[in-house]
């Protein structure tokens, strides 16, 4: 029953059909991967895309966690003999985990509290009278005196009443309805306040020294900044709420009879419950909730930025000189060919203290000539801009279409010292491996960057402040999505790349490379079944994403899945075509379909395939070697250099977006410092989220609004005059 309810809930939330949700969850439960479902099970899901499938996956996981918690709570309360049909119905109807926890609170095993100690002293009957504001007691003092028991630690009437108030306070605090109301008041009217602990030691937190904002309006990046300031012991943070309103809300529920001798005592207990138990607990919940929202938002930005970086277009067919700049230890140069193969490495010393400028230029020109290199790829770390000046002089003297580019070297040092790098280049110096990585990340960003922990690629803000488990999970999803979108050459892919292919884990990736090393290249997808650990399900998930260029079987070089080979062959027969003809000229497929007046729908029926599947087969055969990254703008290759001093207000330049954050985008315009396009300058229209307008790697035209050389700040605008 719960499953059906969940299907309906998710369908409503995501604006999908119940049948789409049900079938998608069945596929996920059947150990099918999201990329596989999105690409090869379109008929089953009703053509849901990868993002929609992920949303379904995430929601069913949350709802199942909720179900498990409900079962645990119900079992615990039942074991105590306190489960009523009404309470069971409330727990089963709860839509959020917090509601379940609130209902469980009175029955949850507690550590020794003031209330439990009072109960041990036999004061619970007195507390019950206090809670119900009893009026049936003839002699109040005499009644209270019956609870005095020095052996139990109750020496006076006041001690008995104080203990009873403690029990009442905990009972009020455990009331699920009360907590819900106080939470709503706090969320709607609460103000998050941050203050400086020491005004002389603010660092980067100056704007938060005297900061306040409504809880419901605070932006995620401010939450992260405040949290960090508090963690670093710079800020004092609290949530201010209308306390009188909260206490009055509680009193309205409990203080029904002013004539009771217990009235003032219960009023005191309510005030104590609020300040000592409810308010601190609700504040923690709200702070945790804000942090979760901020985490999710920041992780979403990381994910989108990472995706843009991974899907930057490759620079095919060029020999590249990768340069890892440095001062005292020199700049490492690694030459790679158009396939990424390492050709030669050398160290030059153009900068202080050696200052071998002329000799370094000669070395670079000799390497360019020797290997017919066309691009100098410079890492953006220490001495990068000085090395850029060196590159400009080389280009001016060498010519031959030589150009340069500066790329992010984030994570290059992490890769250089990794086990994978040692396996690739066992006898190579660590810093030289870094130069190879810099060159390869221009040649094919995806293939190189998958070798690095996604968290080390460095995109977004507050990367180390968010939930690291959730961050890793999301970034791994992004890498998996990108790898399967592009597809993988089975005969050249590294272990790092292969392990992100749908259905393949690290162990199977290792075994693919081992078999390839032992037996030589794969000639067909069928040979994958010889790989140790490659079962039927893993093969089904992975096969369509693993390509074999120039394979004996044409379909093995395309995105057509082996399960659709029969349909693809039948389609070619109906169109009176053969694989060789299609391989030579993919556009003939559509022409022949028009000539024979055969639609995709008609062909699908005659080939016993789904219409969506057959449409994908046509697309795959039409452009068998299509790389989705080729449709994106190429990186900017430069042949001149700008300095901060060259910049003038109003100047319009071309730049590359390097990072996107909540308040705007940082753009590399060819000087040492990236300029900031504030979100108000991204478009003439209002921009809520900068990611709606720009993404990492996007090439944009910007106008210079301001230059502050002393502070190293450049203000830019993408709102240009016609």
Domain count, the chain: 4
Asked if the structure places residue 539 within a domain, the reply is yes
Same domain, 525 and 660: no
Residue 657 CB-density burial (10 A; 0-12 exposed, 13-18 middle, 19+ buried)? buried
Q: Backbone dihedral region of 299: left (phi > 0), alpha (psi from -120 to 50 degrees) or beta?
A: alpha
Is 181 in a helix, a strand, or coil?
helix
Residues present in the chain in total: 722
Instruction: Report yes or no: 16 and 48 within 8 Å, Cβ to Cβ.
Output: yes
Residue 372 CB-density burial (10 A; 0-12 exposed, 13-18 middle, 19+ buried)? exposed
Cα 394 to Cα 363: distance, rounded to the nearest angstrom:
10
Instruction: Report yes or no: 210 and 235 within 8 Å, Cβ to Cβ.
Output: no
Instruction: Report yes or no: 229 and 222 within 8 Å, Cβ to Cβ.
Output: no
Same domain, 401 and 525: no
Same domain, 596 and 471: no
Same domain, 429 and 560: no
CATH number, domain containing residue 671: 2.40.50.140
The DSSP string of 195-253 is EES-TT--TT-GGGTEEEEEGGG--HHHHHHHHHHHHTTSEEEEEE--HHHHHHHHHHH
By mean pLDDT, which of 34-48, 353-367, 578-592, 626-640 is the weakest?
Answer: 626-640
641 pLDDT band, cuts 50/70/90, is: low
Instruction: Report yes or no: 651 and 667 within 8 Å, Cβ to Cβ.
Output: no
pLDDT of residue 285: 96
Same domain, 359 and 469: yes
**In what helix (H) or strand (E) does residue 602 lie, and over which residues does it extend?**
helix 600-606
Asked if the structure places residue 130 within a domain, the reply is no
Is 80 in a helix, a strand, or coil?
coil
Instruction: Report yes or no: 91 and 103 within 8 Å, Cβ to Cβ.
Output: yes
Asked if the structure places residue 106 within a domain, the reply is no
Same domain, 597 and 660: no
Tokens at 439, concatenated: 């060159």
**In what helix (H) or strand (E) does residue 419 lie, and over which residues does it extend?**
helix 419-424
Same domain, 10 and 84: yes
Same domain, 528 and 596: yes
Short-list 96, 91, 30, 107, CA closest to 59: 96
Same domain, 16 and 70: yes
Asked if the structure places residue 273 within a domain, the reply is no
Is 644 a residue whose pLDDT tops 90? no
CATH number, domain containing residue 40: 1.10.10.650
Cα 121 to Cα 495: distance, rounded to the nearest angstrom:
67
Instruction: Report yes or no: 375 and 440 within 8 Å, Cβ to Cβ.
Output: no
Distances 403 to 313, 324, 395 between C-alpha atoms, Å: 17, 17, 7
Q: What residue has token string 């400028």? A: 357
Asked if the structure places residue 386 within a domain, the reply is yes
pLDDT of residue 147: 94
Q: Please compute Rg for the chain using Cα positions.
A: 33
Tokens at 265, concatenated: 């005592």
Instruction: Report yes or no: 621 and 629 within 8 Å, Cβ to Cβ.
Output: no
Tokens at 527, concatenated: 């040979």
Average pLDDT for the chain? 92
Highest mean pLDDT among 303-307, 379-383, 564-568: 564-568
Asked if the structure places residue 310 within a domain, the reply is no
- Sign (positive or negative) of CA dihedral 69, 72, 73, 75: positive
Asked if the structure places residue 468 within a domain, the reply is yes
By mean pLDDT, which of 116-125, 172-181, 506-515, 619-628 is the weakest?
Answer: 619-628
Question: Mean pLDDT across the stretch 575-603?
Answer: 92
Question: Mean pLDDT across the stretch 354-377?
Answer: 95
Higher pLDDT, 338 or 461: 338
pLDDT of residue 66: 95
Cα 273 to Cα 275: distance, rounded to the nearest angstrom:
6
By mean pLDDT, which of 1-5, 278-282, 310-314, 567-571 is the weakest?
Answer: 1-5
Is 334 in a helix, a strand, or coil?
strand
Residue 268 CB-density burial (10 A; 0-12 exposed, 13-18 middle, 19+ buried)? middle
Domain around 446: 319-485
Cα 569 to Cα 647: distance, rounded to the nearest angstrom:
61
Tokens at 264, concatenated: 């003032």
Domain end call among 579, 601, 630: 630
Asked if the structure places residue 681 within a domain, the reply is yes
| 689-714 residue pLDDT tens | 898 899 888 888 899 999 888 777 89
**In what helix (H) or strand (E) does residue 184 lie, and over which residues does it extend?**
helix 176-189
Cα 275 to Cα 390: distance, rounded to the nearest angstrom:
67
Residue 630 per-residue DSSP state: G
| 303-335 residue pLDDT tens | 988 898 899 899 877 799 999 999 999 999 999
Instruction: Report yes or no: 577 and 618 within 8 Å, Cβ to Cβ.
Output: no
Cα 719 to Cα 84: distance, rounded to the nearest angstrom:
64
Higher pLDDT, 66 or 412: 66
Q: What residue has token string 């499953």? A: 3
Angle, in degrees to the nearest 10, between helices 85-93 and 50-79: 160
Short-list 371, 370, 365, CA closest to 348: 365
Same domain, 384 and 528: no
181 pLDDT band, cuts 50/70/90, is: very high
> To the nearest whole percent, how much of the chain has pLDDT over 70?
98
Tokens at 1, concatenated: 């029953």
**In what helix (H) or strand (E) does residue 404 lie, and over which residues does it extend?**
strand 403-407
455 pLDDT band, cuts 50/70/90, is: confident
CATH number, domain containing residue 332: 3.30.420.140
Question: Mean pLDDT across the stretch 162-174?
Answer: 96
459 pLDDT band, cuts 50/70/90, is: low
Give, in degrees to the nearest 5, the angle at Cα 595 between 594 and 599: 35
CATH number, domain containing residue 619: 1.10.150.310
Domain end call among 570, 603, 630: 630
* CA 237 to chain centroid: 27
pLDDT of residue 653: 83
Same domain, 700 and 677: yes
What burial letters (b/e) apply to 618-637, b meaning 16+ CB within 10 Å? Answer: bbbbbebebbebeebeebeb
Domain end call among 56, 90, 124: 90
Tokens at 399, concatenated: 């010519």
Angle, in degrees to the nearest 10, between helices 468-486 and 279-310: 20
Distances 157 to 116, 126, 132, 601 between C-alpha atoms, Å: 18, 11, 19, 88
pLDDT of residue 85: 95
Question: Mean pLDDT across the stretch 675-702?
Answer: 89
pLDDT of residue 539: 97
pLDDT of residue 458: 63
> To the nearest whole percent, how much of the chain has pLDDT over 90?
71
Same domain, 477 and 373: yes
pLDDT of residue 2: 79
Q: How far apart are the first and last CA of the chain?
A: 61
Tokens at 415, concatenated: 């890769």
26 pLDDT band, cuts 50/70/90, is: very high
Tokens at 26, concatenated: 């069945």
At CB < 8 A and 24+ separation, what contacts does 419-423 make?
420/451, 420/494, 420/495, 420/496, 421/451
Give, in degrees to the nearest 5, the angle at Cα 259 between 255 and 261: 90
């Amino acid at each position: 029953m719960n499953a059906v309810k969940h299907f309906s809930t998710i369908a409503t939330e995501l604006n999908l059909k119940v049948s789409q949700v049900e079938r998608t969850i069945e596929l996920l439960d059947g150990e099918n991967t999201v990329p596989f479902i999105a690409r090869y099970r379109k008929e089953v899901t009703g053509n849901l895309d990868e993002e929609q499938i992920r949303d379904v996956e995430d929601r069913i996981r949350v709802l199942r966690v909720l179900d498990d918690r409900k079962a645990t709570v119900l079992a615990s309360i039942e074991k105590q003999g306190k489960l009523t049909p009404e309470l069971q119905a409330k727990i089963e109807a709860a839509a959020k985990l917090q509601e379940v926890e609130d209902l469980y609170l009175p029955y949850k095993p507690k550590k020794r509290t003031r209330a439990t100690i009072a109960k041990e002293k036999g004061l619970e009957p007195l507390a019950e009278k206090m809670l119900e504001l009893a009026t049936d007691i003839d002699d109040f003092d005499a009644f209270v005196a019956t609870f005095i028991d020095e052996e139990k630690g109750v020496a006076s009437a006041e001690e008995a009443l104080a203990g009873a108030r403690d029990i009442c306070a905990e009972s009020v605090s455990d009331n699920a309805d009360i907590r819900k109301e106080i939470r709503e008041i706090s969320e709607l009217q609460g103000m998050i306040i941050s203050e400086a602990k020491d005004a002389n030691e603010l660092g980067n937190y100056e704007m938060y020294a005297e900061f306040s904002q409504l809880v419901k309006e605070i932006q995620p990046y401010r939450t992260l900044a405040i949290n960090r300031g508090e963690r670093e012991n710079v800020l004092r943070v609290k949530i201010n709420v209308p306390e009188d309103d909260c206490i009055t809300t509680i009193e309205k529920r409990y203080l029904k009879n002013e004539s009771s001798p217990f009235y003032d005592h219960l009023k005191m207990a309510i005030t104590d419950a609020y300040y000592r138990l409810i308010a601190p607990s609700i504040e923690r919940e709200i702070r945790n909730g804000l942090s979760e929202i901020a985490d999710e938002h920041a992780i979403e930005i990381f994910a989108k930025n990472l995706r843009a970086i991974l899907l930057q277009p490759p620079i095919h067919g060029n020999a590249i000189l990768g340069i890892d700049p440095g001062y005292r230890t020199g700049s490492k140069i690694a030459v790679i060919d158009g396939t990424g193969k390492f050709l030669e490495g050398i160290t030059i010393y153009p900068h202080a203290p050696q200052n071998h400028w002329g000799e370094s230029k000669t070395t670079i020109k000799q390497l360019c000539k020797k290997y017919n290199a066309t691009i100098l790829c410079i890492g953006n770390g220490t001495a990068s801009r000085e090395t850029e000046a060196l590159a400009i002089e080389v280009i001016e003297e060498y010519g031959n279409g030589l150009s340069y580019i500066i790329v992010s070297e984030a994570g290059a040092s992490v890769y250089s010292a990794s086990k994978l790098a040692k396996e690739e280049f066992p006898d190579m110096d660590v810093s030289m491996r870094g130069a190879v990585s810099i060159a390869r990340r221009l040649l094919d960003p995806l293939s190189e960057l998958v070798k690095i922990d996604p968290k080390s690629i460095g995109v977004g803000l507050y990367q180390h402040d968010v939930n690291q488990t959730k961050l890793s999970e999301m970034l791994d999803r992004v890498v998996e999505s990108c790898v399967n979108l592009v597809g993988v050459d089975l005969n050249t892919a590294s272990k790092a790349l292969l392990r992100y292919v749908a259905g393949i884990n690290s162990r199977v990736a290792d075994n693919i490379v081992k078999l390839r090393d032992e037996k030589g290249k794969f000639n067909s997808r069928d040979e994958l079944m010889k790989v140790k650990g490659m079962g039927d399900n893993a093969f089904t998930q992975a096969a369509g994403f693993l390509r074999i260029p120039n394979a004996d079987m044409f379909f093995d070089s395309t995105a057509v899945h082996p399960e659709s080979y029969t349909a693809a062959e039948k389609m070619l027969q109906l169109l009176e075509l053969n694989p060789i003809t299609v391989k030579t000229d993919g556009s003939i497929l559509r022409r022949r379909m028009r000539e024979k007046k055969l639609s995709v729908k008609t062909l699908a029926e005659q080939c016993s395939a789904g219409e969506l599947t057959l449409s994908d087969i046509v697309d795959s055969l039409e452009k068998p070697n299509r790389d989705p990254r080729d449709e994106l703008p190429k990186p900017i290759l430069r042949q001149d250099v700008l300095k901060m001093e060259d910049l003038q207000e109003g100047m319009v330049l071309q730049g590359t977006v390097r990072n996107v954050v909540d308040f705007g985008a940082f753009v590399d315009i060819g000087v040492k410092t990236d300029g900031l396009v504030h979100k108000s300058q991204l478009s003439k229209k209002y921009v809520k989220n900068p990611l709606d307008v720009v993404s990492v790697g996007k090439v944009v035209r910007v106008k210079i609004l301001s230059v502050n050389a002393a502070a190293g700040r450049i203000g830019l605008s993408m709102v240009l005059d016609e």
